[in-house]
Amino acid sequence: MDIFGIWDEQVLAGEVMTSALQFTDARLERDVALSRKLGADVHLLAAVDTVPDATRATAERLCKQAGPELHVYDRSPLRPAPLPKLAPATAADGPRWALSAAQELRAFITTGKPITSSQAAKVLKTASGGTSPVGGQIAALTEAVNHHGAALTQPLEHLRREARLLLDPLNTQQ
Protein backbone atom coordinates (compact mmCIF):
# COMPACT_ATOMS: atom_id res chain seq x y z
CA MET A 1 0.00 0.00 0.00
CA ASP A 2 1.38 3.35 -1.02
CA ILE A 3 -1.24 5.31 0.89
CA PHE A 4 -3.00 4.55 4.14
CA GLY A 5 -4.59 7.07 6.47
CA ILE A 6 -7.55 9.25 7.29
CA TRP A 7 -8.91 11.49 4.54
CA ASP A 8 -11.98 13.66 5.06
CA GLU A 9 -13.01 11.56 8.10
CA GLN A 10 -12.72 8.24 6.24
CA VAL A 11 -10.07 5.50 6.22
CA LEU A 12 -8.30 5.56 2.86
CA ALA A 13 -5.94 2.97 1.39
CA GLY A 14 -4.58 2.59 -2.10
CA GLU A 15 -1.84 2.64 -4.67
CA VAL A 16 -0.23 5.32 -6.81
CA MET A 17 1.63 4.27 -9.95
CA THR A 18 3.75 6.17 -12.43
CA SER A 19 1.99 4.21 -15.19
CA ALA A 20 -1.61 3.00 -15.16
CA LEU A 21 -0.46 -0.04 -17.12
CA GLN A 22 1.03 -1.34 -13.84
CA PHE A 23 -2.53 -1.92 -12.59
CA THR A 24 -2.98 -5.48 -13.85
CA ASP A 25 -6.10 -7.44 -12.90
CA ALA A 26 -4.05 -9.44 -10.38
CA ARG A 27 -2.61 -6.23 -8.91
CA LEU A 28 -6.08 -4.68 -8.61
CA GLU A 29 -7.43 -7.80 -6.90
CA ARG A 30 -4.55 -7.75 -4.40
CA ASP A 31 -4.85 -4.01 -3.72
CA VAL A 32 -8.64 -4.00 -3.22
CA ALA A 33 -8.44 -7.08 -0.99
CA LEU A 34 -5.77 -5.37 1.12
CA SER A 35 -7.90 -2.21 1.39
CA ARG A 36 -10.81 -4.35 2.61
CA LYS A 37 -8.56 -6.18 5.08
CA LEU A 38 -7.32 -2.81 6.43
CA GLY A 39 -10.93 -1.66 6.90
CA ALA A 40 -10.69 1.13 4.35
CA ASP A 41 -13.81 3.12 3.53
CA VAL A 42 -12.15 4.37 0.35
CA HIS A 43 -9.81 2.58 -2.06
CA LEU A 44 -7.57 4.93 -4.02
CA LEU A 45 -6.32 4.06 -7.50
CA ALA A 46 -4.03 6.77 -8.83
CA ALA A 47 -1.60 7.12 -11.71
CA VAL A 48 0.38 9.98 -13.17
CA ASP A 49 -0.91 9.13 -16.66
CA THR A 50 -4.47 8.32 -17.78
CA VAL A 51 -6.19 5.30 -16.21
CA PRO A 52 -7.86 3.27 -19.02
CA ASP A 53 -11.63 2.67 -18.88
CA ALA A 54 -11.08 -1.10 -18.62
CA THR A 55 -8.89 -0.65 -15.54
CA ARG A 56 -11.51 1.64 -13.97
CA ALA A 57 -14.25 -0.89 -14.71
CA THR A 58 -12.28 -3.75 -13.12
CA ALA A 59 -11.52 -1.65 -10.03
CA GLU A 60 -15.17 -0.58 -9.73
CA ARG A 61 -16.35 -4.20 -9.93
CA LEU A 62 -13.82 -5.33 -7.30
CA CYS A 63 -14.68 -2.48 -4.95
CA LYS A 64 -18.42 -3.15 -5.26
CA GLN A 65 -17.74 -6.76 -4.27
CA ALA A 66 -15.32 -5.91 -1.44
CA GLY A 67 -17.00 -2.82 -0.01
CA PRO A 68 -14.73 0.23 -0.21
CA GLU A 69 -15.74 3.22 -2.29
CA LEU A 70 -13.44 3.68 -5.28
CA HIS A 71 -11.68 6.98 -5.99
CA VAL A 72 -9.65 7.20 -9.20
CA TYR A 73 -7.17 10.01 -9.76
CA ASP A 74 -5.13 10.26 -12.91
CA ARG A 75 -3.57 12.82 -15.21
CA SER A 76 -6.64 15.04 -15.57
CA PRO A 77 -7.38 15.81 -11.89
CA LEU A 78 -3.79 15.40 -10.65
CA ARG A 79 -2.09 17.50 -13.30
CA PRO A 80 -4.65 19.87 -14.80
CA ALA A 81 -3.64 22.79 -16.93
CA PRO A 82 -2.94 25.82 -14.75
CA LEU A 83 -5.87 28.18 -14.37
CA PRO A 84 -5.39 31.85 -15.08
CA LYS A 85 -5.14 34.02 -11.99
CA LEU A 86 -8.51 35.53 -11.32
CA ALA A 87 -8.84 39.20 -10.59
CA PRO A 88 -11.98 41.06 -9.65
CA ALA A 89 -13.76 42.14 -12.83
CA THR A 90 -15.54 44.93 -10.99
CA ALA A 91 -15.00 46.84 -7.79
CA ALA A 92 -17.87 44.87 -6.24
CA ASP A 93 -16.39 41.41 -6.89
CA GLY A 94 -13.92 41.37 -4.00
CA PRO A 95 -16.48 42.35 -1.34
CA ARG A 96 -19.02 39.93 -2.88
CA TRP A 97 -16.51 37.08 -2.65
CA ALA A 98 -15.73 37.99 0.98
CA LEU A 99 -19.42 38.17 1.83
CA SER A 100 -20.16 34.79 0.23
CA ALA A 101 -17.20 33.18 1.98
CA ALA A 102 -18.21 34.64 5.35
CA GLN A 103 -21.74 33.29 4.89
CA GLU A 104 -20.42 29.83 3.95
CA LEU A 105 -18.08 29.79 6.94
CA ARG A 106 -20.82 30.93 9.32
CA ALA A 107 -23.09 28.14 8.03
CA PHE A 108 -20.38 25.54 8.71
CA ILE A 109 -19.71 26.93 12.20
CA THR A 110 -23.37 27.00 13.22
CA THR A 111 -23.69 23.23 12.68
CA GLY A 112 -21.62 22.79 15.85
CA LYS A 113 -19.45 20.18 14.12
CA PRO A 114 -15.73 20.56 13.41
CA ILE A 115 -15.03 21.98 9.97
CA THR A 116 -13.33 19.57 7.56
CA SER A 117 -10.41 20.48 5.34
CA SER A 118 -12.71 20.16 2.30
CA GLN A 119 -15.11 22.70 3.80
CA ALA A 120 -12.25 25.07 4.64
CA ALA A 121 -10.93 24.76 1.07
CA LYS A 122 -14.39 25.60 -0.31
CA VAL A 123 -14.60 28.75 1.84
CA LEU A 124 -11.11 29.88 0.80
CA LYS A 125 -11.85 29.23 -2.86
CA THR A 126 -15.03 31.31 -2.60
CA ALA A 127 -13.14 34.13 -0.85
CA SER A 128 -10.55 34.26 -3.64
CA GLY A 129 -13.05 34.24 -6.47
CA GLY A 130 -12.26 30.70 -7.55
CA THR A 131 -8.51 30.34 -7.08
CA SER A 132 -7.61 27.08 -5.36
CA PRO A 133 -6.07 27.51 -1.90
CA VAL A 134 -2.83 25.80 -0.88
CA GLY A 135 -2.50 23.24 1.89
CA GLY A 136 -1.13 25.67 4.47
CA GLN A 137 -4.08 28.03 4.03
CA ILE A 138 -6.54 25.15 4.36
CA ALA A 139 -4.82 23.80 7.47
CA ALA A 140 -4.67 27.25 9.08
CA LEU A 141 -8.37 27.97 8.51
CA THR A 142 -9.39 24.47 9.64
CA GLU A 143 -7.36 24.80 12.84
CA ALA A 144 -8.60 28.32 13.59
CA VAL A 145 -12.26 27.45 13.10
CA ASN A 146 -12.03 24.22 15.07
CA HIS A 147 -10.17 25.99 17.89
CA HIS A 148 -12.37 29.11 18.13
CA GLY A 149 -15.67 27.70 16.83
CA ALA A 150 -18.75 29.70 17.80
CA ALA A 151 -16.60 32.64 18.96
CA LEU A 152 -16.11 33.45 15.27
CA THR A 153 -19.79 34.11 14.54
CA GLN A 154 -19.70 37.68 15.85
CA PRO A 155 -16.62 38.71 13.79
CA LEU A 156 -18.18 37.03 10.73
CA GLU A 157 -21.39 38.99 11.27
CA HIS A 158 -19.29 42.19 11.48
CA LEU A 159 -17.57 41.24 8.19
CA ARG A 160 -20.97 40.62 6.60
CA ARG A 161 -22.22 44.07 7.64
CA GLU A 162 -19.05 45.80 6.42
CA ALA A 163 -19.15 43.98 3.07
CA ARG A 164 -22.77 45.02 2.60
CA LEU A 165 -21.83 48.65 3.33
CA LEU A 166 -19.16 48.45 0.64
CA LEU A 167 -21.49 46.77 -1.82
CA ASP A 168 -24.49 49.08 -1.47
CA PRO A 169 -22.93 52.09 -3.25
CA LEU A 170 -21.21 49.84 -5.79
CA ASN A 171 -24.48 48.12 -6.68
CA THR A 172 -26.22 51.45 -7.28
CA GLN A 173 -23.44 52.56 -9.69
CA GLN A 174 -24.02 49.62 -12.06
What is the enclosing helix (H) or strand (E) of 13? strand 10-17
What is the band of 170 on the pLDDT scale with cuts at 50, 70, 90? Answer: low
Q: What is the pLDDT of residues 54-94, one digit of tens each?
A: 999 999 999 999 999 999 988 876 666 665 555 666 777 87
CA dist., res. 59 & res. 68, Å (int): 11
Closest CA to 117 of 131, 102, 101, 133: 133
